[in-house]
Amino acid sequence: MTAPDASDSWTYALDASCAHVKNFTAVLSALRLSRRQRARVRADGRGMTFSTRDVSKSCAASANFRADVFQSYACDETAALMHSSRHRARGVVEFDVDLGALIDVMGALVGARGGDADARLRWPNRDGALALELDGGRGSGNGERDGRQCVYAEISPETMPEEEEEEEEESFRDETRAFMMPTATLKEIVDDLEWPCGNVRVEMDREKLRFIASGAEVGTLTVDVDATEGRLTEFTCREPTTSTYKYRLLKAATAVAGNFLGGGGGANAGDDGVTMTRASISARGFLKIVHLLHLSRNDVSFAASELNAFMVPVTFVVHPEDDLDDDDEHDDENERET
């Protein structure tokens, strides 16, 4: 499409630039739970959050980008109120977008620039769409005028029916069961549990963390995690629990891209070498999984004071198996096959 006029005085409600566009796109890809999926983008002066659910509404996912992870970041309160009819808190920008379309467009544009690009996201443009601008220009370093190549795209916003507005997230206040381990370790455990082709039972007591999957024809697979003597970064269990989850939901909630996994563990690996994941189970059996991903892991070497500078929490909330509706499960399987 035609590049915007530099003299354009249009005021955007949201205007953000990101230098780590490959990993930014990879973080968004981690939220992809279904082939067709709507995401809510919510931004204020503190940062930008992408939140979504799978088709069956049995797994919620979100990624929270703090304002300081962007090269530039601005929310215009007046423009936000002017461009939307949805009631919202003062100073909050909010709109819906097709998550798959956003990931595909950003991936295609980054690919066209060989991954060496900065991205700018602005909403809404004059057509009410999300505008994307990728700048692949680089200086020659010899004093000559820099060459600048830009690619522009726009994505029309999605409209969420009022009856489909997001439900209130399960409360995890006063939690009594939680553990933390390297993301690669949790991912490996869940990958191993695929073999029985059954639901996964998670058992916790004061000394034990156990994952169990059973299949009608192949038997039972059990993975015991030693929770004693500080083997886990965090382990709290004041009330024993047993909760069961659909395997496909656990798989989706732990499918972190390899470039975010870091060193994968080890006694001498620092926080900058290992991506960590914290999990907690609510009183109702809801499982909350939070991956602490470094947006710029492949781009910079962190000093001790900068370890959390570009950390992006990616959160999944998985419903327990007995909280799911069989019709919703069937609908989701059909959606993934489409």
Q: Where are the domains of the chain?
A: 14-164, 177-337
Q: Rounded CA gap, 3 and 11, in Å? A: 16
Q: Taking the domain 177-337, which CATH number applies?
A: 3.70.10.10
Q: Rounded CA gap, 70 and 72, in Å? A: 5
pLDDT above 70 as % of the chain: 72
Whether residue 211 contacts residue 191, with contact meaning beta carbons closer than 8 Å, is answered with no
Q: Which long-range contacts (CB under 8 A, 24 or more apart) does 134-138 make?
A: 134/21, 134/106, 134/109, 134/110, 136/112
pLDDT digits (tens, 9 = 90+) for 270-300: 444 688 999 999 988 999 999 999 876 544 4
Counting runs of H as helices and runs of E as strands, what totals does the chain give?
Answer: 6, 18
Q: The pTM is what?
A: 0.83
Q: Taking the domain 14-164, which CATH number applies?
A: 3.10.150.10
Say what the alpha-carbon torsion angle 258, 262, 266, 269 is, to the nearest 10 degrees. 180
What is the reported pLDDT for 226?
A: 87
- DSSP labels, 276-309: EEEEEE-TT--EEEEEEEETTTTT-PPPGGGTTT
Average pLDDT, the chain: 79
pLDDT digits (tens, 9 = 90+) for 18-71: 887 888 899 999 999 887 889 999 999 999 999 999 888 899 999 999 998 898
| Of the candidates 316, 315, 276, 287, the residue with the CA atom closest to the CA atom of residue 203 | 287
Q: How confident is the model at residue 258 (pLDDT cuts 50, 70, 90)?
A: confident
User: Helix/strand/coil (H, E, C) string of 249-268?
Assistant: HHHHHHCCCHHHCECCCCCC
